[in-house]
Amino acid sequence: MRDKNNANINRRRMAIFHRFINDLELREANLLGRRYTWSTGRDPPTLERLDRWFSSLDWEALHPSASLSALSSSLSDHAPLLMSTAVDIRCKRRFTFESFWVNLDGFQEAVAEAWGAPTAGPADPLQRLDRKLRRVAKALQWWSARRVGNIRDQILVANEVIRQLDRAQDHRTLEAPEMALRRGLKCRFLGLASLDHTIARQRARIVGALDVDASAQFFRIQASKRQRRNHIASLRDGDVMAVDQAGMEDLAAGFFHRLLGRARPRVHDLDLESMGLAPVDLVALEALFSEEEV
């Protein structure tokens, strides 16, 4: 139903086509910016998504930055498809919480130190909360860079050192420190590979019982595809259109600023005592949540 503007659909042919694609183990590329690729040209027209791009997992692994778009249908009733294999999707880097952090030493201390630091500035609770969250995010990024580092670079280094030791073992007996280094690197390689798989699986955001056996490369392909699908190339507000990051931020901020407006100062106060309402101590509402409450 999403690929046609009416309900005239041959579900039997759809099922045959889906089985054919599944048998070939092909995956469809997400089309950016368009919903339909074919039109009858009548009034009213029938619109349908007839043109598609399919590829294998190996091809997606070779072209992780590929992007599919539709061109003008000036010479046909079909919109030609353009597959760009090297699209640089520049997006503003944002904080991403990694689930494996909680299992590492020093995580709780890093969060507690950043959260408990004094907060200067306005007394508004929401602004204080925002500053605390930003400070914790920055502290976790710095802690992760020191404690974890770049997982894939560490895997490459460990793999190369093990390879060099394997080559040396072909011609001579490894010394005791070299043997200990080789054993330690193999254990570390397995741990890093498992950690890389966990990170890739989290970023792919796939939930399912069979996903545990998939490779890290598969999850990275899923994450890359999701990033391309969620990428916002432009924003329009009335007659104004923005295509760069700064312009889209200003356009979105201006739109919601006009929508929400500004807070106006109060000109009247409520005297609760004159209304016969006894004051209530609400200090407990600002207390920290206990583990039992959570």
Q: Is 68 helix (H, G, I), strand (E, B) or coil?
A: strand
Give the residues across from 54 on adjacent strands: 28
Q: What is the pLDDT of residues 108-163, one digit of tens each?
A: 898 999 888 887 766 677 778 888 888 999 898 888 888 777 777 888 888 888 88
Q: How many CA atoms lie within 13 A of 173 on its CB side?
A: 2
Q: Give the pLDDT confidence of 66-115 residue by residue, as tens digits.
A: 888 888 877 788 888 888 887 655 555 667 787 778 877 888 898 999 88
- Does the pLDDT value for residue 208 go beyond 70? no
Q: pLDDT band at 16, cuts 50/70/90?
A: very high
